[in-house]
């Protein structure tokens, strides 16, 4: 297996560092001995997102920069001098992309272009670009490998396809060493209520008498965040990964309805489930099944998931229980 200790004393930029996966990635990079520059989206509160929750010693080891990937000048400034760039900055909420598609183009497409141009100019050793399983749309076959056709079933997924293709083009056109990592539904502590597992757990822990969800039949491949992060780190080191798209997933699917039942069993609560019309996506936009083939990740990176679903769910439940005031059970998080 590729050693991730090779990040020792390397300068690494992480965009989207204040997000769910980004904060866990920064924490792991500190443990690897990297010198980290972390981009978080500017806000007048000076809030660093989920980086605020890292232990003091870890936060102190990170250079945090507030800004925006839409600013090409800033991208050139912060990429300069970096060996590796992990690009996670993106607008990710699918329902909000129906409301504000232009903002998704600006951040996910134009922002990625700015980052790639800056990385090319700076001559970085590698760019690890974050994709999403949503780019595949509803599966035409299971498991989904990296050769599966792409289909933009939401404005969000369409902008991620565009960003992926820009990253691919910079490798093919300019020789920029790019790896495209395509996670399948990562979950874990610090994930927002926008995602399905925190949505279920929050309502149950808050004592709600009815569990409100969207589609119960959609099937997802759930990967615990520490496994996803390890995949990112390995993608930054494996020489044969350059120029490739690499899925990160368990290869096991579970429906939202069955997932809700499993979380209820863990918590020892059984309440009725009701479909909330506000949570139902347009029929043609809903992605029905996403189950990964991770053969390439295993062969190229030496990666395989280590955390089982029951263990991972228990960790999420414990986190939400200790942060319940931060979650609004009665409100649908778009």
Q: Convert the pLDDT of each residue in 81-105 to its tens digit.
A: 999 999 999 999 999 999 999 999 9
| Residues 108/90, Cβ–Cβ less than 8 Å | yes
Strands (DSSP E) contained in the chain are: 11-15, 35-41, 62-67, 84-87, 126-130, 178-183, 186-187, 211-213, 219-220, 223-224, 245-248, 254-255, 273-275
Count of residues for the chain?
A: 334
User: Residue 277 carries which DSSP code?
Assistant: G
Strand partners, 59: none
**What domain range is 56 assigned to?**
5-186+225-248
> Tokens for 31?
């443990």
> Tokens for 3?
């050693």
Identify whether 282 is part of a domain.
Answer: no
Indicate which CATH number applies to the domain containing 143: 3.40.50.720
Q: How far apart are CA 327 and CA 198, in angstroms?
A: 9
Query: Of 85, 73, 101, whose CA–CA distance to 17 is shortest?
Result: 85
The model carries a pTM of 0.95
Identify whether 37 is part of a domain.
Answer: yes
Q: Which residues are catalytic?
A: 156
Task: Pick 165 or 192 by higher pLDDT.
Answer: 165
* Total tally of structural domains belonging to the chain: 1
Q: How far apart are CA 154 and CA 334, in angstroms?
A: 14
Identify whether 40 is part of a domain.
Answer: yes
- The confidence band for 3, taking pLDDT boundaries of 50, 70 and 90, is very low
Identify whether 219 is part of a domain.
Answer: no
Quote the pLDDT of residue 330.
63
């Amino acid at each position: 297996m590729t050693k991730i200790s090779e990040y020792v004393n390397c300068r690494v930029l992480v965009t989207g560092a204040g997000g769910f996966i980004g904060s866990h990635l920064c924490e792991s990079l500190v443990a690897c001995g990297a010198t980290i520059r972390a981009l978080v989206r500017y806000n007048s509160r000076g809030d660093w997102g989920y980086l605020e929750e890292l232990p003091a010693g870890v936060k102190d080891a990170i250079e945090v920069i507030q800004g925006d990937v839409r600013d090409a000048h800033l991208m050139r400034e912060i990429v300069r001098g970096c060996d590796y760039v992990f690009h996670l900055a993106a607008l990710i909420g699918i329902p909000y992309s129906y409301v504000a598609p232009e903002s998704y183009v600006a951040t996910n497409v134009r922002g990625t272009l700015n980052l790639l141009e800056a990385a090319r100019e700076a001559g970085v050793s590698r760019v690890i670009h974050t994709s999403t399983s949503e780019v595949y749309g509803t599966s035409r076959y299971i498991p989904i490998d990296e050769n599966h056709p792409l289909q933009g079933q939401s404005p969000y997924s369409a902008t991620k396809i565009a960003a992926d293709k820009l990253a691919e083009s910079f490798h093919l056109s300019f020789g920029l060493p790019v790896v495209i990592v395509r996670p399948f539904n990562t979950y874990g502590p610090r994930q927002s209520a926008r995602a399905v597992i925190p949505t279920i757990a929050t309502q149950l822990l808050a004592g709600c008498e009815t569990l409100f969800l969207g589609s119960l039949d959609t099937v997802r491949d759930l990967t615990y965040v520490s496994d996803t992060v390890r995949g990112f780190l390995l993608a930054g080191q494996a020489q044969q990964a350059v120029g490739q798209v690499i899925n990160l997933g368990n290869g096991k699917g579970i429906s939202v309805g069955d997932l809700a039942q499993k979380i209820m069993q863990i918590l020892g609560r059984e309440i009725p489930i009701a479909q909330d019309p506000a949570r139902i996506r347009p029929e043609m936009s809903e992605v029905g099944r996403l189950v990964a083939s991770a053969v390439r990740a295993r062969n190229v990176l030496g990666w395989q998931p280590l955390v089982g679903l029951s263990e991972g769910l228990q960790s999420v439940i414990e986190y939400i229980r200790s942060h319940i005031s931060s979650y609004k059970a009665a409100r649908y998080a778009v």
